[in-house]
């Protein structure tokens, strides 16, 4: 048997969740991160739409969004030299059947403004006047530099002594006195605490540790990259989404990312686009604009993994000692990562979490499913 590499905390998965919690814990704990792929961020973290919308998600997510904002705005410039957020704005449009839904969204949202159809079309001139019958605007939606956030956390973790092993897939684990023995094809690790930050694989990982899965479901979402429509400069357009989440458009570097906003339940895997789902989504998008979709430059798909109540899971397992869940971040895992990383680190240190997140503890705890 190979030599056992010992640590206090073993993080499995080096996406945004694993990187964030490793960086947050590194000044008080010896931490090792294991990642199956050859590079961190290969799965959901590297495939997101990279947007921060404070008003996006259920009440718990919104609480996490609020708690995450200060880290984004007052970043540690030693590890994050460039700004992590850039103002984008978010425009929501509704067709004739959804005007009331849009009005309700404006009434109930915080920081959601009602804007005229003329203003919406002047912001994004390809929107069809025949389609748009109501609109709402959120000026504070921002683009996230996901790579800068992820690499900054990995750099911070490494500077503080965290070891990252790539090409290292956890394949089995057993409980021993005071912790875990965790096996990978080439190395064996021991740790007092294991953090499950394996994204779409989180339920499978739990089962490997003899922990009851929580019913997490990976939902596939795809994105097509389209050239800017002829005669239009898309760079300063806001993100545009349909009030019923039938599609969304995000400008990116002079191109357009258009997503069918698909949510197809799948097994965890290296996600790829279903051409039919993409074509149907692009058709829905075409109904809302005045330009045809003539060319898709490229496309990709990723997995957004949700708990049954569409709220993340952060906390120690209710029945098995030393097993910490950091999973189920769904479509909000980048924008909520600062608050979730800080919360996970506080719980593992046995300290009180940030007072703004404290009221959310029981709603995030895996114990809510037992
Ligand atoms: C199309 C799309 C758009 C999105 N848009 C946004 C957005 O605009 N804003 C936002 O905030 N969020 C967005 N999200 C959601 C966000 O990307 C995810 O919530 C987040 O990336 C999840 O991070 P993670 O670290 O949990 O998972 P991942 O990034 O998937 O990381 C999990 C890691 O665990 C590793 N792993 C799994 N099993 C093992 C094992 N046995 N041993 C070792 N390693 C293992 C995997 O290889 C993987 O690298 C979007 C997602 C998608 C797909």
CATH of the domain at 223: 3.30.9.10
Residue 17 beta carbon below 6 angstroms from any ligand 1 atom = yes
Ligand 1 centroid–CA 72 distance in Å is 19
Same structural domain for residues 259 and 155? no
Report if residue 79 sits inside a domain.
no
Report if residue 245 sits inside a domain.
yes
Cα separation, 109 vs 112, in Å, equals 5
Q: Residue 256 forms beta bridges with which residues?
A: 226, 251
Ligand 1 centroid–CA 199 distance in Å is 5
Residue nearest to atom 14 of ligand 1 (CA): 331
Residue 51 beta carbon below 6 angstroms from any ligand 1 atom = yes
Q: Which domain-ending residue is among 306, 338, 354?
A: 306
Same structural domain for residues 283 and 224? yes
**Where residue 61 sits, what CATH number does that domain have?**
3.50.50.60
Q: Residues 297, 225: contact at Cβ < 8 Å?
A: yes
Give residue for tokens 């007072």.
355
Residue 280 beta carbon below 6 angstroms from any ligand 1 atom = no
Q: Diameter of the chain by CA atoms? A: 70
Same structural domain for residues 50 and 94? no
Report if residue 77 sits inside a domain.
no
Which of 33, 45, 205 is the pocket-test mutation for ligand 1 (most atoms within 8 Å of CB)?
45
Exposed/middle/buried for 163, CB within 10 Å: 0-12, 13-18, 19+? middle
The tens place of each residue's pLDDT in the chain, 370 residues long, gives 579 999 999 999 999 999 999 999 999 999 999 999 999 999 999 999 999 999 999 999 999 999 999 999 999 999 999 999 999 999 999 999 999 999 999 999 888 999 999 999 999 999 999 999 999 999 999 999 999 999 999 999 999 999 999 999 999 999 999 999 999 999 999 999 999 999 999 999 999 999 999 999 999 999 999 999 999 999 999 999 999 999 999 999 899 999 999 999 999 999 999 999 999 999 999 999 999 999 999 999 999 999 999 999 999 999 999 999 999 999 999 999 999 999 999 999 999 999 999 999 999 999 999 8
Residue 331 beta carbon below 6 angstroms from any ligand 1 atom = yes
Same structural domain for residues 223 and 247? yes
Same structural domain for residues 36 and 126? no
Q: Residue 310 forms beta bridges with which residues?
A: none
Ligand 1 centroid–CA 103 distance in Å is 33
Q: Which domain-ending residue is among 278, 306, 334?
A: 306
Range of the domain at 101: 90-139+217-306
Report if residue 84 sits inside a domain.
no
Domain count, the chain: 2
Residue nearest to atom 27 of ligand 1 (CA): 199
Residue 353 beta carbon below 6 angstroms from any ligand 1 atom = no
Cα separation, 305 vs 326, in Å, equals 12
pLDDT at 1: 58
Same structural domain for residues 169 and 302? no
Same structural domain for residues 319 and 178? yes
Residue 322 beta carbon below 6 angstroms from any ligand 1 atom = no
Same structural domain for residues 346 and 330? yes
Q: Which domain-ending residue is among 306, 336, 353?
A: 306
Indicate the SS3 state at residue 159. Answer: helix
Report if residue 85 sits inside a domain.
no
Indicate the SS3 state at residue 83. Answer: coil
Joined tokens for residue 355: 């007072």
Q: Which atom of ligand 1 is nearest to the CA of 42?
A: 49
Same structural domain for residues 128 and 45? no
Same structural domain for residues 246 and 290? yes
Residue 173 beta carbon below 6 angstroms from any ligand 1 atom = no
Same structural domain for residues 246 and 279? yes
Global confidence as pTM: 0.98
Give residue for tokens 């490229």.
298
């Amino acid at each position: 048997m190979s030599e056992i590499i010992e640590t206090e905390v073993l993080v499995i998965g080096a996406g945004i969740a694993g990187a964030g919690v490793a960086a947050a814990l590194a000044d008080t704990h010896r931490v090792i991160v294991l990642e199956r792929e050859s590079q961190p961020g290969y799965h959901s973290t590297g495939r997101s739409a990279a947007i921060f919308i404070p008003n996006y998600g259920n009440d718990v997510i919104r609480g996490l969004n609020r708690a995450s904002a200060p880290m984004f705005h007052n970043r540690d410039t030693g590890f994050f030299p460039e700004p992590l957020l850039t103002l984008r704005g978010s425009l929501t449009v509704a067709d004739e059947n959804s005007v009331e839904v849009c009005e309700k969204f404006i009434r109930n949202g915080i920081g959601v403004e009602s804007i005229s159809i003329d203003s919406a079309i002047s912001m994004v001139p390809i929107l069809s006047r025949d389609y748009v019958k109501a609109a709402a605007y959120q000026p504070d939606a921002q683009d996230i530099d996901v790579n800068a956030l992820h690499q900054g956390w990995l750099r911070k973790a490494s500077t503080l002594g965290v070891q990252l092993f790539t090409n290292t897939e956890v394949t089995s684990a057993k409980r021993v006195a005071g912790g875990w023995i965790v096996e990978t094809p080439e190395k064996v690790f021991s740790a007092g605490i294991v953090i499950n930050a394996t994204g779409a694989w989180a339920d499978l990982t739990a089962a490997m540790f003899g922990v009851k899965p929580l019913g997490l479901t990976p939902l596939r979402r795809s994105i097509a990259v389209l050239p800017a429509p002829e005669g239009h400069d898309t760079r300063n357009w806001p993100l545009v989404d349909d009030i019923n989440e039938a599609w969304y458009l995000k400008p990116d570097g002079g191109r357009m990312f258009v997503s069918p906003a698909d949510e197809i339940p799948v097994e965890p895997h290296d996600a790829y686009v279903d051409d039919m789902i993409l074509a149907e989504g692009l058709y829905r998008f075409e109904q809302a604009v005045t330009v045809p979709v003539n060319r898709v430059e490229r496309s990709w798909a990723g997995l957004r993994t949700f708990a049954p109540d569409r709220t993340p899971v952060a906390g120690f397992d209710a029945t098995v000692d030393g097993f910490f869940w950091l999973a189920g971040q769904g479509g909000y895992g980048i924008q909520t990562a600062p608050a979730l990383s800080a919360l996970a680190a506080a719980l593992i240190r046995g300290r009180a979490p940030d007072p703004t997140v404290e009221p959310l503890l029981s709603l995030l705890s895996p114990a809510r499913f037992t």
